[in-house]
Amino acid sequence: MAGIDEFALLRGQRYATIIIDADTGQSVEVLPDHKRATVTTWLREHPGIRLMCRDGSGGFARATTDANPGIVQVGDRWQCAMRRLFVSPTQSGRIRKEILGSDGLPNPETVRGPQHARKVTAGLRHWRRGVVGPA
């Protein structure tokens, strides 16, 4: 299972894509942009991927389908949690309790907290130092 998401190299101006092994949380590849063609090419070069965890990006959905229509696509935890909390508030209260603790904050066992995000972005900042900008 792979996970895919974009991140800003230069906020609002330059983006890259990270692909992770969703089972281990280890990064597999950092692509130089978040273009559909780049992601499609990478996925075609890695035919062993059977399940893709992604955000709501239509570009990633189309790239995955273009590369291999057989790849099962699922929403990441953040997308699923937000959809369950805000898009479908009429669903049972049990869902809210699964995602949020009694204090109303995300349950760290259900959704990874900001410490994990800081650790990942610190690694990306270190990686980014070696990235050469556009010509």
pLDDT per residue as tens digits for the range 13-66: 888 998 988 888 888 899 999 899 999 999 999 999 998 888 877 889 999 999
The answer to whether the pTM exceeds 0.85 is: no
**127 — pLDDT class (breaks 50, 70, 90):** very low
The residue with tokens 């692909």 is 19
Indicate if 50 and 10 belong to the same structural domain.
yes
How far is residue 73's CA from residue 125's CA, in Å, rounded to a whole number? 28
Q: What is the mean pLDDT of the segment spanning 88-103?
A: 50
Helix (H) or strand (E) holding 15: strand 14-21
Regarding whether 53 and 8 lie in a shared domain, the answer is yes
Number of independent structural domains in the chain: 2
Do you know the residue count of the chain?
135
The secondary structure of 57-108 as a DSSP string is -HHHHHHHHHH-TTSEEEE-HHHHHHIIIII-TTS-HHHHHHHB-TTSSBPT
CA dihedral (16, 21, 22, 24) positive or negative: negative
Residue ranges making up the domain that contains 58? 1-75
